[in-house]
Amino acid sequence: MPIDTGSTGFMLIATALVMFMTPGLAFFYGGLVGRKNVLTIMFQSFISLGVTTILWFILGYSMCFSGSLGHGDLEGIVGNLDMAFLQGVDLLAPSPVNPGVPMILFCAYQMMFAIITPALITGAFANRVRFPAYLLFLVAWLILVYFPLVHMVWGGGLLAVWGVKDFAGGIVVHTSAGFAALASVLFVGKRKSGDKGLHSLPLVALGTAILWFGWYGFNAGSEFGVDRVTTLAFLNTDLAASFAGPTWLLLDWIFTRKPKFLGFLTGSVAGLATITPCAGYVSTPSAVVIGILASLACYLAVHIKNKAGLDDALDVFGVHGVGGFLGTILLGVFGTTAMTYPGRDPSLLASGLVDGQGGLLLRQSVAAVGTAVYAFAFTLIMLWIINKVTTVRVSEKEEMAGLDMVEHGEEAYL
């Protein structure tokens, strides 16, 4: 099949946008921590650009997209190594989801998702984790959690065959990272230092702007081509974020008597995370409802977390974990076959409760719970093992001094 230049050009842009989200996340997290830990948290995002790319080249892409249930993979859980070192990913190979776009571009696009997902987790254990332990965690978590989930959902594995839907990563990215973050918080424990951030709201705003901008590539690009659904996913992404931000702002205004900029920014990100699994499957009015529900649920989750005394430093679980989990389930409610057009493949539609169908809601709920348990348990076990190899948590003295100088010998502000 000849190359579709329009879709290929669009996907190159979308891939670059998703890559740009990782530096955006670094700015977002960097502003939320104290001045003595800015470089450490930013470096934890940036290092994923290198380490994850190396892993992706060696075995990650193959573990995610080689084989399928009953055709060469491991029981529908993880792929084989037939495409290790990107064997077969050449200029002539078509992508598995759109023959008009080269596989080499599909590989690059999916790699950007792999890069940002473990970086999301770092916000939970800010100021407390040693760099060598984080590197081991990054590698182990990708191999044992992220790659299998990608295969199960997007690579023709167990959940894909069962009919579970995830348009752009509510299960694979946000639920997995959010519940891994919760496990990390429980393992690492509370911060002892008084340097608990927030040190720069403008940095947080810049990071939010980059994330929001990049999310159009994240969600609209997940159609992997240019068609009517691409535009639907684009608009739904903006609607959910734009309604979620003011909703969180209003909640802050009610409960703290102040309309807080940070609340608006946090709510917007919650809306973006929650619409992610639904973006190409739901109507625009549904996206509005999803955005509002995202802020209500995530705001409540953060409040409960604070009451429980859990030190999820940057609310990764409350925003990404709860948002991704909620969005995955809401897809089973608001998914509708009305989001179609002549010639669209019926298998790409999602039919939920609004269509009078309950099967999808059941599948989505089971997948969300299963992913949460899987990511939580594997992360907890993984950190326990890594701690036997090299100490995960810094000492109290090192934490008080700040990790920028202790771990890296550098300072953000002289």
Q: How confident is the model at residue 374, as a pLDDT?
A: 98
Q: DSSP string spanning 198-252?
A: ---HHHHHHHHHHHHHHHHHHHGGGG-S-SHHHHHHHHHHHHHHHHHHHHHHHHH
pLDDT in tens, the chain (414 residues): 789 999 999 999 999 999 999 999 999 999 999 999 999 999 999 999 999 999 999 999 999 999 999 899 999 999 999 999 999 999 999 999 999 999 999 999 999 999 999 999 999 999 999 999 999 999 999 999 999 999 999 999 999 999 999 999 999 999 999 999 999 999 999 998 766 689 999 999 999 999 999 999 999 999 999 999 999 999 999 999 999 999 999 999 999 999 999 999 999 999 999 999 999 999 999 999 999 999 999 999 999 999 999 999 999 999 999 999 999 999 999 999 998 888 888 888 999 999 999 999 999 999 999 999 999 999 999 999 999 999 999 999 999 999 999 999 999 998
Distance of CA 95 to the CA centre of its chain: 22
Is 0.85 topped by the overall pTM?
yes
Domains of the chain, with CATH numbers? 5-408 (1.10.3430.10)
Q: What pLDDT does 196 receive?
A: 67
What does the pLDDT read at residue 234?
Answer: 98
CA distance 224 to 372: 27
3-state DSSP of 27-39: HHHHHHCCHHHHH
What gap in Å lies between CA 21 and CA 272, rounded to an integer?
13
Q: Please, are residues 178 and 323 in contact by the beta-carbon 8 Å criterion?
A: yes
- Residue 193 confidence (pLDDT): 74
